[in-house]
């Protein structure tokens, strides 16, 4: 009986796999030539056979995953035959007996190179190793610079894994979701894949901040009808006029992503309703390339005939496309009932590029978007090849540059350069050439002499003044915002430091010689720990600059040609060793917080101030034991994605004796008795103590933050419920971690 059931199941599964395969072919049809079908079928057969015994975490046949990745690559990114073949095969080399040689033999060098790149990226993200992710990120970008399809398929792979993350364990979910927010979503953004970037961010938030995610999703659902009504009223008069003027167009209300609503709420410290008061509409025009610009402005003119535009909010990304190729006209107008409405105007081609990014560039080859992508990739390559050693810095700089708005400036010869907002004359110098940056002593902006740190404005014309004697200085790092300038200054400073250190080393050698000591590892280590520096380079450099006084060496006792460690250096070493062993012990276990607060070696992180009941995790610090953070802490993403191996699962146990500090923000109608009523309710609640209250009142609306001590979230929920009953109170929210930080 059981055997028959299994056979029927296997049969049904085979059918399901085939029908999914056919769905992929249908979805990718516009991008593949008929003659390529055979080759794709061949790739599918190989993958299907190779994965035949494997299952996903959800229990489904493994081949569903490569099929889904191929569908995303073809349908949502718009990639062609080569990428679809690579997507189908992307996990074979890593997880099955199929080798790269096999693949090259069947499909040629291009396909095997891409699979090789994908396999390498996977090994960079090997979740079992303790390697720091930032360095891997750098390697990943290098791989990407070879063939951008590697990164695009990797994004498709990650998107499908995020869509199916439910089957994973909670700690894995958190790690993968954090990594997605930290690395993949910014990359998708930079590559111009807006739809995928948005979905990755939303999915990531669904796992890192599930409650907030659900609450916003629910509110979106309930306000839908009302929104649609407003958009209809707004677009009604436009539609007729656009048609009469001869334009072919579609007009749609643009739904906002959950994560972007949440970001806005946090950034502007406003409620969901306030954020949602902003409506957004997109007009997409179907026209020929030569009329694109004129037709977009025509639509703009019609919109602004009906509604008054905010002149500060007009953006013309048609004349000057963004670096990632984005083109459109943006404006904000005053709609009915005094509400601001954001308008995006673009053509079908621009819309395809905005949604699908690069893949659409290939379709519309005649535009200049290709060269701007090539320029960007060249810049990435350039950055990666710089000798900047600290990968974390690199990632931060890189991310910084991802989102920066741009300004447009000119060289003396009238050549246009794009730089991020806040770029200085020094950034400009490094953008032109590293040597010009290094020797820069000043600049003339619009023929006026300015210092290196001078901030540039749109339309400035800049001439750089150099001197062969000039050398980069530490403070230059404060003058620049571009990743290129930063990394070049750092590496040049490092060279300078190295040459200074050479002198310092010579000094130490002379001193050692006097005392008949040898320069060897043991002696140097004793000095490093005594002077509290981390590397021999720092030691020598500090000797040369006088920060370390070599006279101190006279206090050391010696034994033969070796220094005897001083007492204080021994003590320091022991104390650091004891922390590591005690934290190591707990690494594999679930940390239970609450039963023995004094005995266990952990502390509550003061960046986010968790209280019992919060979703939390432990982070093993170098010298302060384990710190407990809220999963919603602003530092979580960075900690999880860079130091996953130092994360300890943590859970609260029941205990009532200890109180925790937390904060609430309350808004309401200002009324003489309101503060009195609030404090009354709080003090009536058992064991709740107020630590501080801050109240602002403006035009009859009052807003206050209250810091108070509670036992746990349950306790806090009861209190919030009671407070909401007070007359005049409009909203009560718990302070988010970063707000708490600024309030306390």
Active-site positions? 94-95
CB 44, CB 34: distance < 8 Å: no
**Pairing between strand 440-445 and 689-698?**
unpaired
Closer Cβ to Mn ion, 72 or 341, answer by number: 72
Closer Cβ to Mn ion, 87 or 204, answer by number: 87
User: Residue 588, Cβ neighbours under 10 Å: how many?
Assistant: 8
Closer Cβ to Mn ion, 164 or 582, answer by number: 164
Between the alpha carbon of residue 271 and those of residues 36, 216, 481, 711, the distances in Å are 53, 11, 33, 27
Paired strand residues for 650:
591
Q: Give Cβ neighbours of residue 509 (< 8 Å, ≥ 6 apart).
A: 519
**3-state SS, one letter per residue, for 615-637:** CEEEEECCCCCEEEEECCCCCHH
Closer Cβ to Mn ion, 91 or 201, answer by number: 91
Q: Give Cβ neighbours of residue 302 (< 8 Å, ≥ 6 apart).
A: 238, 241, 242, 245
Q: From the CB of 130, what's the least distance to Mn ion, in Å?
A: 22
Closer Cβ to Mn ion, 21 or 213, answer by number: 21
Q: From the CB of 710, what's the least distance to Mn ion, in Å?
A: 44
Between the alpha carbon of residue 265 and those of residues 273, 550, 716, the distances in Å are 9, 56, 22
**Residues 538-597 within binding reach of Mn ion (CB under 5 A):** none
Q: From the CB of 3, what's the least distance to Mn ion, in Å?
A: 32
Contacts with Mn ion, 53-92, as mask; x by CB under 5 A: --------------------------------------x-
**Residues 86-145 within binding reach of Mn ion (CB under 5 A):** 91
Q: From the CB of 158, what's the least distance to Mn ion, in Å?
A: 8
Closer Cβ to Mn ion, 91 or 113, answer by number: 91
Residues comprising the chain, all counted: 744
Of the candidates 541, 508, 646, which has an alpha carbon nearest to the alpha carbon of residue 584? Answer: 646
Which phi and psi angles does 672 have, rounded to 5°?
Answer: -50, -40
**3-state SS, one letter per residue, for 674-724:** HHHHHHHHHHHCCCCEEEEEEEEEECCEEEEEEEEEECCHHHHHHHHHHHH
Closer Cβ to Mn ion, 112 or 711, answer by number: 112
Closer Cβ to Mn ion, 163 or 603, answer by number: 163
Of the candidates 623, 628, 584, which has an alpha carbon nearest to the alpha carbon of residue 602? Answer: 628
Closer Cβ to Mn ion, 44 or 428, answer by number: 44
Q: From the CB of 100, what's the least distance to Mn ion, in Å?
A: 16
Long-range residue pairs from 418-423, CB within 8 A, at least 24 positions apart, any chain: 418/323, 419/456, 419/482, 420/481, 420/482, 422/455, 422/481, 423/455, 423/456, 423/480, 423/481, 423/482
Q: From the CB of 65, what's the least distance to Mn ion, in Å?
A: 6
Q: What's the rounded Cα separation, in Å, for the pair 308 and 550? A: 73
Q: From the CB of 24, what's the least distance to Mn ion, in Å?
A: 15
CB 661, CB 672: distance < 8 Å: no
CB 663, CB 732: distance < 8 Å: no
* Residue with nearest beta carbon to Mn ion: 157
Closer Cβ to Mn ion, 204 or 662, answer by number: 204
Measured at the CA of 721, the angle between CA 716 and CA 722, to 5 degrees, comes to 100
Give the total of residues touching Mn ion (CB under 5 A): 2
Which phi and psi angles does 114 have, rounded to 5°?
Answer: -65, -45
Q: From the CB of 157, what's the least distance to Mn ion, in Å?
A: 4
Contact between 388 and Mn ion per CB under 5 A: no
CB 456, CB 409: distance < 8 Å: yes
**Residues 143-162 within binding reach of Mn ion (CB under 5 A):** 157
Q: From the CB of 45, what's the least distance to Mn ion, in Å?
A: 19
CB 536, CB 524: distance < 8 Å: yes
Q: What's the rounded Cα separation, in Å, for the pair 631 and 612? A: 13
Q: From the CB of 174, what's the least distance to Mn ion, in Å?
A: 19
DSSP label at residue 311: G
CB 665, CB 732: distance < 8 Å: yes
Question: What does the binding site for Mn ion look like in residue numbers (CB under 5 A)?
Answer: 91, 157
């Amino acid at each position: 009986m059981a055997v028959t059931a299994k056979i029927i199941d296997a049969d049904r599964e085979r059918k399901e796999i085939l029908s999914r395969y056919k769905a992929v072919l249908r979805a990718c049809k516009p991008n593949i030539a008929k003659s390529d079908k055979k080759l794709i079928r061949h790739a599918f057969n190989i993958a299907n056979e190779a994965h035949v015994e494997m299952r996903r975490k959800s229990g489904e046949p493994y081949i569903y995953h490569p099929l889904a990745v191929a569908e995303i690559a073809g349908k949502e990114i718009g990639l062609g035959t080569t990428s679809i073949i690579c997507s189908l095969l992307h996990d074979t080399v890593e997880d099955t007996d199929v080798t790269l040689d096999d693949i090259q033999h069947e499909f040629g060098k291009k396909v095997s190179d891409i699979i090789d790149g994908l396999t390498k990226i996977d090994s960079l993200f090997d979740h079992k190793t303790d390697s720091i992710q930032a360095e891997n990120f750098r390697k990943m970008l290098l791989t990407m610079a070879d063939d951008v399809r590697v990164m695009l398929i990797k994004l498709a792979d990650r998107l499908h894994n995020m869509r199916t993350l439910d089957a994973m364990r909670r700690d894995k979910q958190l790690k993968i979701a954090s990594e997605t927010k930290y690395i993949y979503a910014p990359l998708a953004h930079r590559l111009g894949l807006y739809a995928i970037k948005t979905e990755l961010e939303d999915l990531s938030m669904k796992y890192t901040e599930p409650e907030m995610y659900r609450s916003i999703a629910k509110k979106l659902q309930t306000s839908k009808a009302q929104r649609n009504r407003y958009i209809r009223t707004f677009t009604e008069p436009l539609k007729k006029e656009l048609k009469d003027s001869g334009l072919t167009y579609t007009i749609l209300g643009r739904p906002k992503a959950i994560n972007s609503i949440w970001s806005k709420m946090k950034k502007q410290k406003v409620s969901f309703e306030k954020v949602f008061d902003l409506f957004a509409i997109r007009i997409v025009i179907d026209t020929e390339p030569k009329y694109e610009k004129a037709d977009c402005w025509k639509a703009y003119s019609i919109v602004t005939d009906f509604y008054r535009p905010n002149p500060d909010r007009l953006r013309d990304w048609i004349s000057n496309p963004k670096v990632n190729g984005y083109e459109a006209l943006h404006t904000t107008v005053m709609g009915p009932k005094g509400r601001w409405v954001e308008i995006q105007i673009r053509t079908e081609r621009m819309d395809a590029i905005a949604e699908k990014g690069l893949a659409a560039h290939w379709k519309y080859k005649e535009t200049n978007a290709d060269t701007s992508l090539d320029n960007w990739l060249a810049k990435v390559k350039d950055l990666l090849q710089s000798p900047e050693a600290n990968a974390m810095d690199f990632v931060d700089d890189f991310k910084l540059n991802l989102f920066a708005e741009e300004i447009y400036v000119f060289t003396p010869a009238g050549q246009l350069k794009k730089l991020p907002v806040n770029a200085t004359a020094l950034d400009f110098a490094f953008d032109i050439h590293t040597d010009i940056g290094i020797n820069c002593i000043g600049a003339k902006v619009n023929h006026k002499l300015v210092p290196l740190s001078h901030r540039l404005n749109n339309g400035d014309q800049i001439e750089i003044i150099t001197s062969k004697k000039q050398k980069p200085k530490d403070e230059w790092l404060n003058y620049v915002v571009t990743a290129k300038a930063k990394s070049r200054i750092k590496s040049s400073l490092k060279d300078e430091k190295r040459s200074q250190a050479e002198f310092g080393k010579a000094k130490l050698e002379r001193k050692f010689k006097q005392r008949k000591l040898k320069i060897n590892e043991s002696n140097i280590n004793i000095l490093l720990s005594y002077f509290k520096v981390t590397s021999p380079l720092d030691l020598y450099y500090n000797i040369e600059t006088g920060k370390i006084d070599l006279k101190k060496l006279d206090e050391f006792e010696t034994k033969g040609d070796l220094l005897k460690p001083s007492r204080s250096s021994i003590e320091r070493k022991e104390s650091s060793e004891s922390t590591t062993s005690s934290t190591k012990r707990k690494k594999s276990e679930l940390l239970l917080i609450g039963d023995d607060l004094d005995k266990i070696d952990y502390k509550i992180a003061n960046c986010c101030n968790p209280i019992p009941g919060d979703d939390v995790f432990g982070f093993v610090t170098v010298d302060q034991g384990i710190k407990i953070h809220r999963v919603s802490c602003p530092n979580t993403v960075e900690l999880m994605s860079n130091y996953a191996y130092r994360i300890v699962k943590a859970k609260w146990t029941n205990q009532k004796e200890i109180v925790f500090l937390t904060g609430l923000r309350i808004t309401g109608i200002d009324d003489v008795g309101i503060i009195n009523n609030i404090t009354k309710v709080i003090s009536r609640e058992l064991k709740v103590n107020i630590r501080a209250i801050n109240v602002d009142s403006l035009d009859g609306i009052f807003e206050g933050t209250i810091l108070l001590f509670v036992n746990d979230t349950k306790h806090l929920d009861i209190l919030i419920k009671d407070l909401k009953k007070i007359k005049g109170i409009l909203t009560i929210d718990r302070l988010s971690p970063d707000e708490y930080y600024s309030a306390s």
